Amino acid sequence: MSSEPRIIKECFARLEADPAGAMSYFYGRLFAREPQLRALFPPAMGEQHDRFFRALTRIVWSQDSPADLASHLRRLGRGHRRHGVRREHYPAVETALLATLRTYAADVWTAEAEDAWTRAYRSAAATMIAAAERDAADHPPWWVAEITAHDRRAHDLAVLTLRPERPLPFLPGQHVSVQTARWPRVWRPYSIANAPRPDGTLSLHVRARPAGWVSGALVRHCAPGDTVLLGPATGAMVLEPGSARGLLLIGGGTGLAPVKALAEQAAASGRRLHLLVAARTGAGLYDLPALRRLEEAHPGVRVVPVLSRSPRLPGGLHGRLPDVLPGFLDDLQGWRDHDAYVAGPAPLVRRTVTALQRHGMSLTRIHHDLLAAEN
Ligand SMILES: NC(=O)C1=CN([C@@H]2O[C@H](COP(=O)(O)OP(=O)(O)OC[C@H]3O[C@@H](n4cnc5c(N)ncnc54)[C@H](OP(=O)(O)O)[C@@H]3O)[C@@H](O)[C@H]2O)C=CC1
């Protein structure tokens, strides 16, 4: 490759010195020139600034890994469909982005830099547009789904059952973005908590975050009969096709959702699995009866509740999951040949991945979607 990636990074470093300023400038330019685009974005733009800057960062730093870059851009292009982004919107973004770079990277901005950025932007836009248009041939940009059950399991937690108006294809372990009527244009990702069902319904486990817009609306202000919008299923934390290896499935809090979906899928094909579900107290094990039913129905399934702040339950463990995991693994034959899937609070996922690695599990066998969730 040429010196272009170096020039692109050098200019971008000037934006990295003041991302908040650069993003305010960028969106200011964009909406001043194309006011009608404002309607595609949520009322509060703070998160959008962060999201766009993270996306740009990833694109800039992937300039010398074309395969990674292309797959990221394709995902991004498909994901933009639910926001109503179309081919004709891209030139306005190019103009605002170049204006921002010209201003923030003035000391290193040259004709060569302008050329490199223009080429990189147009190539990225072309990949995103092509992926979005291919996707449009097969899928709608979003699905309208009716809430058919709303089961409040705690003051801040609900399990929702949704029936999309048309089939929404997904693999266990993937997540969908959700938009509620209360907060137009605000999307939040939720893992699907079940393997595909004959009736096409999906379950979501939702904890209302303090001051959380979408989570609060889903837990406290939704009822059966209401509708939500769902984006397409995405995420790579899925079972390897054809693998029959044993599984170690680990879910903390509502991180149970994706590992429950994986457990349902794996149990149906007779795979041996251990599902460790972490909560502070027994009251936090909001889905234990359903997990016990899965265990009873499938001899290869073992459910292990892990309580960090109350005594252990029968067949369970007491302590913080990453701390008690090594002792648990020592008693589990052949675990190094298992595949591990971990979901839950980010610190729990990070500490659990480290504990698994230190104990001798290869990183290639450990799956989580922390990076995807953060991007
Ligand atoms: N695909 C995914 O990866 C998914 C991720 N999530 C994420 O999972 C989280 C679930 O939140 P919530 O239901 O409130 O979970 P909780 O805050 O109730 O925590 C669940 C368990 O994780 C433990 N835990 C938290 N931090 C640590 C740590 N640093 N080390 C060890 N154990 C820890 C808690 O124990 P203690 O507090 O005693 O340490 C508790 O046992 C959310 O952040 C959500 O975004 C949800 C769904 C899917």
Vertex 359: Cα angle to 355 and 365 (nearest 5): 80
- Check residues 355 and 2 and name the one with the higher pLDDT: 355
Distance in angstroms (rounded) separating the CA atoms of residues 297 and 191: 24
Nearest CA residue ID for atom 47, ligand 1: 255
Domains along the sequence of the chain with CATH: 4-138 (1.10.490.10), 143-230 (2.40.30.10), 247-374 (3.40.50.80)
CB-ligand 1 contact for 258 (6 Å cutoff): yes
Residue 373: pLDDT over 90: no
Q: Which atom belonging to ligand 1 lies closest to the Cα atom of 347?
A: 29
The ipTM of this complex is: 0.94
> Does 172 sit in the ligand 1 pocket, CB within 6 Å?
no
pLDDT in tens, 24-45: 999 999 999 999 999 999 988 9
- For ligand 1, the distance from its centroid to the CA atom of residue 348, given in whole angstroms, is 6
Regarding the beta carbon of 173 and ligand 1, being less than 6 Å apart is answered no
Of 176, 256, 280, 368, best ligand 1 pocket probe by most atoms within 8 Å of the beta carbon: 280
Inter-residue contact 241 to 268 (CB < 8 Å): no
Kindly indicate the confidence band of residue 372, based on its pLDDT and cuts at 50, 70 and 90: low
pLDDT one-digit tens code per residue, 67-98: 999 999 999 999 999 999 999 999 999 999 99
Ligand 1: residue whose CA is nearest its atom 27: 348
Q: Is 215 in the pocket of ligand 1 (CB under 6 A)?
A: no
